[in-house]
Structure 1
Amino acid sequence: MIHEMTFQLRTSDFTKGQAWYQSFLQREPDFVPHEGFAEWEVLPGCWLQLAEGTPAEGSGPVRFAVVDIEMERERLVNELQIEPFEIFQREEVPVKWGTFADPWGNRLGLFEYLDAAEKEEKQKRLAKLEKAPYL
């Protein structure tokens, strides 16, 4: 049974990359085991690893759920100078989403649940996960 996951992104300039991801995630890394490598536990048991190296072409995007996608896009454009990105929405899809790249070409994205009840349920589930002991 799978009980945790990691995903790794690479940057050719680790110092700038770590600063960029600290700003993106709005916090310091949770674990820095050695030079050129840092990890953030984005959700309980879900780790973003940043490593020094050549970014993989054509992979991703890795999308992150946010409460207000327009507000978060504005923050990223202003704070991290990413290119403004389009936010998409389709009637049959329960989220709106957008995709952008970090300065090294790693494809990232955001999404926001549209249904208020679903959004609230996801936040309740996350609150329960934060209180649960690790496996």
Structure 2
Amino acid sequence: MIFEITNQVRVTDFKEGHKWYEALLNKKADFIPHDGFAEWEIIPGCWLQVAEGTPSEESGPLRLGVTDIIAERDRLVNELKIDEFEIYSREEVSAKWGTFTDPWGNRLGLFEYLDKKEENDRIKTILGV
């Protein structure tokens, strides 16, 4: 039985990476067990680890669900100086999405459900409401 998920990205400069991911996730790390490693619980049972090391090439993207992709993109472009972050959609896909990279080359992204009822149902399910 799978009950949790953890994803790890690596950064060559941990101090800057830790700060960058705090801004991305808009919160302090939940767990810092030792130097060069921090973890955030993004939603219950879903963890993002940032570790000092060599980033993996061509991995990802790790896409995070948001309720307003344009507002989040604008915040990230302003706060983190992300240059390339276009938002895409296709008629047959029930979400819009965008992909960007962190300063170490890790591919990340955001997505937003187009159907707000579906989005609210997913949020309630995930949070156990």
TM-score category of the 2 structures, normalised to the smaller one: over 0.9
- Identity of paired residues, percent? 60
Partner deviation per Cα, 1:47-77 (whole Å, 9 max, x = no partner):
1000000100000000000001011000000
Give, in whole Å, the separation in 1 of the partners of 2:105 and 2:112. 23
Q: Runs in 1 of length 4+ with deviation above 4 angstroms?
A: none
Q: Is the 8 A contact 1:73 1:84 kept in 2?
A: no
Q: Secondary structure at the match of 1:7?
A: strand
Q: Which structure 2 residues correspond to residues 1-135 of structure 1 after superposition, within 5 A?
A: 1-128=1-128
Q: Given that residues 63 and 111 in structure 2 are in contact (C-alpha distance below 8 angstroms), is that contact kept between their aligned partners in structure 1?
A: yes
Separation (CA, whole Å) in 1 of partners of 2:37 and 2:84: 28
| Kept in 1: contact 2:11–2:53 (CA 8 A) | yes
- Residue-by-residue CA offset, 1:5-26 (whole Å, 9 max, x unaligned): 1110000000000000001001
Are the equivalent residues in 1 in contact too, given 2:99–2:108 (CA < 8 A)? yes
> Is residue 44–residue 127 contact of structure 2 (8 Å, CA) maintained in 1?
no
TM-score, normalized by length of structure 2? 0.97
TM-score, scaled to structure 1:
0.92
1: distance between equivalents of 2:120 and 2:46? 21
Indicate the SS of the match to 2:125: helix
Separation in 2, partners of 1:123, 1:74: 23
Moved more, 80-89 or 118-127: 118-127
Contact 1:6–1:49, Cα closer than 8 Å, also in 2: yes
Alignment gaps of 5+ in structure 1: 130-135
Does the aligned pair in 2 maintain the 1:31–1:38 contact within 8 Å?
A: yes
- For the residue of structure 1 that corresponds to 2:128, the secondary structure is helix
> What are the ranges of 5 or more consecutive residues in structure 2 without an aligned counterpart?
none
| Cα shift at 1:81 | 0.5
Code of the residue aligned with 2:116 in structure 1: it is A
Question: Cα offset for 1:84?
Answer: 3.6
CA RMSD in angstroms, aligned pairs only: 1.0
Do the aligned residues in 2 keep the contact of 1:59 with 1:106 (CA within 8 Å)?
yes
